[in-house]
Amino acid sequence: MFNSEPDSLFSEHHHYMTQAFRLAEEASRNREIPVGAVVVQNGRIIGRGHNQTEMLKDPTAHAEMLAISSACATIDNKYLTGCTLYVTLEPCSMCAGAIILAKIKRVVFGALDEKAGACGTLLHIAGNKLLNHRPEIIQGVMEADSRQLLQDFFKDKR
Residues β-bridged to residue 45: 40
64 included as an active-site residue: yes
Sheet holding 36-41, edge to edge: 44-50, 36-41, 84-89, 106-111, 136-139
Q: Which of 64, 90, 136, 143 is catalytic?
A: 64
Residues 39 and 19: their CA atoms lie apart, in Å, by 10
Provide the annotated active-site residues: 64
